[in-house]
Structure formats: C-alpha cells, structure tokens
Amino acid sequence: MSQFPASSALDLFRCDGRVALVTGASSGLGERFARVLHAAGATVVVAARRLDRLESLVADLPGAIAIQADLSEAEDRERLASEAERLAGPVRILVNNAGIGGVGGIESEELDLFRRVMELNVTAVWHLSKLCAPAMIAAGGGSIINIASMLGHVGATPVKQANYCASKGAVVNLTREMALQWARKLVTVNALCPGWFPSEMTEGMESDEGSQRFITANSPIPRMGEAHELDGALLLLASAAGTFITGQSLIVDGGWTAR
C-alpha cells in the first residue's frame, strides 16, 4: 500500500466552493463556526436577529453574507432559506446553531418560555433543514450539523433546565431520523453536542467562583471548553472527512457524559 500523505488527509477537511449557512452567528459558538468555515474555504452566510453584529462579522470575512432573521418565525425561516440560495447558491453545509434556554425549576417554569425554547431549538432546526434540503440534494448532497448539547444526553440539575434538556434531547433524535431519511440522498445529518463553553448563554460562569467549583468538581477535564476546541469537530462533520458519519452525536464535553 502506498504511503498516504498527511497533507491529503488534511485537505479532506477543506470546504472550498461550498455555501455554508450558520444560524445564531451574531455571538458565541455560531460566530466562531462562521469564522472556521470561512477559513476552510466556504462561502459563509450568517443569520441572527442582531444585524449590526452580523455586519461586523462579515466585514472580517470576505465574500460572506449577512441576513437578519428571527428563526423563531416561520416566515423568516422561509425568507432566510430562499435569500441564502438566491445570494450565494445552494446551501451545502447547514449549521443549525441558534438556540436559547432558561434556568429554573419546573414549578416556576413558564409555559411560554418552554414553547419559545421548543420553537427555536427544535421546530426551527426541522423547518430550516426541510427548507434547505431540496436544493442541497439537487446540488449533489451536503451536511447538516445540528448544535445540540451534552444536555441532549443527560439531565442538567443542579442547573435546572427542563426546557433546554427537552429541546436538545429532541434535536438528538430528530438528527437520527433526518439522517435516515436523507442518507441515500448524500446528505449527512449529525448533532454536535458541546459541554460548557464561554458564550453569552453561559455569561458570568467563567468568572463566577461557584460555577467554576461546580465544573471542576464534575468535569473529568476540570474546566470549561475553549472556543477552538469545537473547530475540529465542526470541520469533521462539515467536510469530505465526514461523509460516512451520519445520525451521530459528537459530544465535546471534556468527558462530562462519560461518567
């Protein structure tokens, strides 16, 4: 067997010539995902509600396009999918990243919050995937990466978050079913499931002593993740390096769920 040059293996992770749509790219993990996909050669389309944040991001990423959209609104999801295709071409990499959650015990959890979390974290993932898949399939396939969470696999308490856990568990199994339905159409669908990472969602945890004690006591790798520690997992699932991986959860959590 001839020796496989390492440079060819690394080339598999490139995303040149592909259009990547990243939702929730105005902050946190989504902004990082957009930067990483751009660095790997993709034409990046970013979406969220805060247009000013998206515009300063695309100013850094030549060729990138910003589209303002409230992903909890069906009409905005429809407009986003058609605008992205009109402006950039068929989406070949879809990163369903926009997400929210609320903390508090079930007794005090508002029905409206639970519904809003499910609408954005689950329904929007299903809907945007459904809207982007036909063009992706017609273009020869692609990859859908649903940003779930380690909390799609385990409960959160003592951080009480029934709404969030329910939504991320749903995303994990929605991912499996979408993967099965589209496997023969050359669309891979996987869930990327982070543990604790600094972002607006986890704001304050980094500097809060109690949170840090909680993480060091419970996480086998006793710290929060660092932004770059999701880059490799994202590119694996987005690129030719991952074309035989589908329906899976890639959990990047410092071992939290291995316990």
Question: Interface with ligand NAP by CB under 6 A: which residues?
Answer: 23-30, 48-50, 53, 69-72, 97-100, 120, 147, 149, 194, 196-197, 199-202
Least distance between ligand NAP and beta carbon 138 (Å): 26
Q: Which residues contact 135 (CB under 8 A, 6 or more apart)?
A: 85, 90, 91
Pick between residue 15 and residue 48 the one whose CB is nearest to ligand NAP: 48
The helices-and-strands tally (H runs, E runs) of the chain is 9, 7
Minimum distance from CB of 17 to ligand NAP (Å)?
A: 26
Cβ closest to ligand NAP, residue 14 vs residue 49: 49
Task: Render 12-23 in DSSP notation, one character per residue.
Answer: TT--TT-EEEEE
Nearer residue to ligand NAP within complex by CB, 14 or 176 = 176
Bridge-based pairing of strands 249-252 and 187-194 is: parallel
Out of 164, 182, 196, 197, which one is annotated catalytic? 164
What is the phi/psi pair of residue 62, to 5°?
-55, 130
Alpha carbons 3 and 207: distance in angstroms, whole number: 48
- Looking at the Cβ atoms of 75 and 107, the one nearer to ligand NAP is 75
> Residue 167 Cβ, how far from ligand NAP at the closest point, in Å?
8
Q: How far is the CB of 151 from ligand NAP (least distance, A)?
A: 7
Supply 16's token pair: 């040149």
**Does 164 qualify as catalytic in the annotation?**
yes
8-state DSSP, 73: S
Catalytic residues: 164
